[in-house]
Chain A
Amino acid sequence: MKKLRLHTKRAITGYLFILPFLIGFLLFILSPLITSVRMAFSDVSISTTEAGFVLKDVGFDNFIRAFTIDPDFNRLLTESCKDMLVNVPCIIIFSLIAAVLLNRRFPGRGFVRAIFFLPVILNSGIVLGLEKSNALLAGIEVLQSNAADVSITTTMENLLLGALGGVGEEIVSFVSDVVNNFYDIVTASGIQTVIFLSALQTINTSVYEAADIEGCSAWEKLWKITIPMVSPMILVNWIYTIIDRFLRSDNALMEKILTAASASMQYGYSSAMAWIYSIIMLLFIGLSSLIISKVVYYYD
């Protein structure tokens, strides 16, 4: 056999490593994806003669319908985007703070870590769906939140608005909205916290020791060591959070897409909406990760 050049050899090994994905993608995912694209451009009906679907080409009708005829689509789309712009940075910041706190030594650390991971379980699959439909638990929650009839954010908002005399009203209400959504932010940041935590644990402790000896303050260590070292994971978490916010099954637009497919059998329209949605999400991810990857620090 002719001796291969190192470069070629590495390329072949690389292909061998990603082989499982290639097989899976080509065999299982590619054709359903293509079908879904074709569905987006067709009127789909379920075939009566043989199993499967009958596709009738209708061009861009489904897309036009989504943007111009459907009364909800544009509103839900802008709502999703707004929700993302506000909540994703909050989630990233919160989960980083939580991970740094959980990485310290304190009694009962394992237990507290387990609690922070709980939202991952509580927000997944069947549990989320049941939680929403459970009237009994919803009743209890209403009872509990009304028990103390004072809300800190409302009081603060009134006080601040009074003091400022109408100046910066939007900022005040924006901040109090974020604070009111704090539960959402905490429960949405379980995975991100775990990812940050496992990144924090691989930072070499000798780096911190060197910083200690040089007389770095904790604040400087956070900005000069911790954040650069976990920055690849900031990118991962950023992308994951965007996707997670967009694809949650209790997201209103996602619900609309799913019911259009399952309840009213409008497969074509449903996949057209899904593709519009995915492309907007891809644009978001592409733009923001371009910006973030400028500051990400890799060893290589």
Chain B
Amino acid sequence: MTKKSVKLRLNQPKFRANNPKPRLTKERLKNIVLKGMGELVILILMFGLCFMILQPLINKLSVSFMAEKDLYDSTIVALPKNFTLDNYKMALRAMDYFKSFINTFIIAVSVAILQVVSCLLVGYGFARFEFPLKKFWFAMVILMIVIPQQTYSSALQLNFRYFDIFGIFTAIFGEPLNLTGTVAPILLLAGSCTGLKCGLYIYLFRQYFRNIPKDIEEAAYVDGCGTIRTLFSIMLPDAMPIASSCFLFSFVWQWTDNYFSTLLLKSANLLPAQLAAVGTRLQSFLDTRPALTYTNCISATGTILLLVPVIIVYLIAQKRFVESLSASAIKM
């Protein structure tokens, strides 16, 4: 039953008969004013917080529309005097934007899907089943989250350079496979819950499933649902908010990640790598060596170009998944 229907019932005559409409007493007026002031304080607080978060982005935006001479003018802080779109044209060219965009998008979406699906299954396994060595394996998940991946990344890279499973590939091809430079390592890691921040997603799903009452599940088992069907038709609708949050995190982190993708993919021309190389690219376009300030300006513009798609994905995702699905999720 929703809030509205409760209110409606309370307003019906038989409820009202004993409680006549309260008059506007001094007490009541005081309450209304206090409540209004509370709302106002919250509104101001929200506005301040939003502004604080947005400020670095606003700075980048205003810089990105400035002509080069505006950058050296100390009287200009936020609004450009000579409005221009040249910075965007230059950044698009320097980053080889459209090609890199498609590459990044494909990688980020496939990694996010693989990570969410595999981590959901593993998280569910940890949350709902009792099996030997469970504590040990979960400790391994925690260990994987806690140890900085950078410490074993060089060994990981070597692992993929000479990739072999129990000598199977050596037996077939005569030598271990070289997977560096292909998309295989990054997809393999994502699909097997060992990619970027996967431990966190496993942990999130586990905590989440543990907090869903067992009763619904047991009811499903009694009604003859198998394990798989219980997961997909009973648990999954409830887990949709967390799954979409994980999808978002995974997408965003893959989108902006430079360290792992350069380590494992080398020359796939993803946006972050292109953005990092903007300075050297500029030099090859312009005849002279570009000024540091100008390079910084183009890099700020490039950052905006990098962020825009992620922000759009977020806006769509949070409307489509989080709000609608949590409303339709099973309620006890």
Q: Which residues of A contact B (CB under 8 A)?
A: 7, 10-18, 20-25, 27-29, 31-33, 35-36, 39, 51-52, 98, 101, 106, 110, 112-122, 124-127, 129-131, 134-137, 140-141, 143-144, 147, 182-183, 186-187, 191, 194-195, 197-199, 201-202, 204-206, 209, 212-213, 229, 232-233, 235-236, 239-240, 243, 247, 254, 257-258, 261, 267, 270-271, 274-275, 277-278, 281-282, 285, 298-300
Shortest distance in angstroms between B29's beta carbon and chain A's nearest beta carbon? Answer: 20
Are A135 and B53 in contact (CB-based, < 8 A)? no
Q: List 9 A-B contacts (CB under 8 A).
A: A13-B227, A20-B192, A121-B252, A127-B303, A127-B307, A131-B303, A137-B300, A186-B53, A202-B241
Q: A134-B300, A261-B154 are in contact. Are A187 and B53 (CB under 8 A)?
A: yes
A-B contact count (CB 8 A): 291
Shortest distance in angstroms between A284's beta carbon and chain B's nearest beta carbon? Answer: 10
A98 to B2, CA, bound (A): 24
Are A236 and B214 in contact (CB-based, < 8 A)? no
Q: How big is chain B's contact interface, by range? A: 35 or more
B269-280 Cβ-contact flags toward A at 8 Å (1 or 0): 000100110000
Q: Does B26 contact A (CB under 8 A)?
A: no
Q: A17-B121, A121-B311, A194-B245 are in contact. Are A22 and B137 (CB under 8 A)?
A: yes
Are A130 and B299 in contact (CB-based, < 8 A)? yes
Shortest distance in angstroms between B198's beta carbon and chain A's nearest beta carbon? Answer: 8
Q: Does B310 contact A (CB under 8 A)?
A: yes
A273 to B327, CA, bound (A): 48
Say which residue of B134, B242, B307 sits within 8 Å of A121 (CB atoms). B307
**In the A-B complex, the 5 residue pairs with the closest CB atoms:** A24-B192, A17-B125, A14-B129, A125-B256, A32-B155
Are A278 and B318 in contact (CB-based, < 8 A)? no
A24 to B203, CA, bound (A): 16
Q: Which chain A residues border B45 with CB–CB below 8 Å?
A: 101
Are B146 and A282 in contact (CB-based, < 8 A)? yes
A213 to B5, CA, bound (A): 13
Are A25 and B122 in contact (CB-based, < 8 A)? no
Are A136 and B296 in contact (CB-based, < 8 A)? yes
A118 to B60, CA, bound (A): 14
Q: Which residues of B contact A (CB under 8 A)?
A: 1-3, 6, 42-43, 45-46, 49-50, 52-57, 59-60, 63, 71, 77, 118, 121-122, 124-126, 128-132, 134, 137, 140-148, 150-156, 158-159, 161-162, 165, 188-189, 191-194, 200, 202-204, 207-208, 210-214, 227, 238, 241-242, 245, 248-249, 252-253, 255-259, 272, 275-276, 292-293, 296-297, 299-300, 303, 306-307, 310-311, 314-315, 318-319, 322-323, 326, 329, 331-332
Q: A21-B193, A28-B159 are in contact. Are A120 and B144 (CB under 8 A)?
A: no
Are B189 and A28 in contact (CB-based, < 8 A)? yes
Q: Is the interface of A mostly helix, strand, loop or mixed?
A: helix
Are A201 and B296 in contact (CB-based, < 8 A)? no
Q: Which chain A residues border B54 with CB–CB below 8 Å?
A: 115, 118
Are A126 and B193 in contact (CB-based, < 8 A)? no
Are B165 and A27 in contact (CB-based, < 8 A)? yes
Q: Which chain B residues border A186 with CB–CB below 8 Å?
A: 49, 52-53
Q: A116-B53, A137-B300, A144-B77 are in contact. Are A24 and B207 (CB under 8 A)?
A: no
Are B275 and A130 in contact (CB-based, < 8 A)? yes
Are B249 and A120 in contact (CB-based, < 8 A)? yes
Q: A27-B165, A130-B276 are in contact. Are A204 and B332 (CB under 8 A)?
A: yes
Q: Which chain A residues border B300 with CB–CB below 8 Å?
A: 134, 136-137
A285 to B194, CA, bound (A): 21
Are B129 and A13 in contact (CB-based, < 8 A)? yes
Are A14 and B147 in contact (CB-based, < 8 A)? no
Q: Which chain B residues border A28 with CB–CB below 8 Å?
A: 156, 159, 188-189, 192, 194
Q: A20-B192, A136-B300 are in contact. Are A141 and B59 (CB under 8 A)?
A: yes
A33 to B153, CA, bound (A): 9
Are A121 and B256 in contact (CB-based, < 8 A)? yes
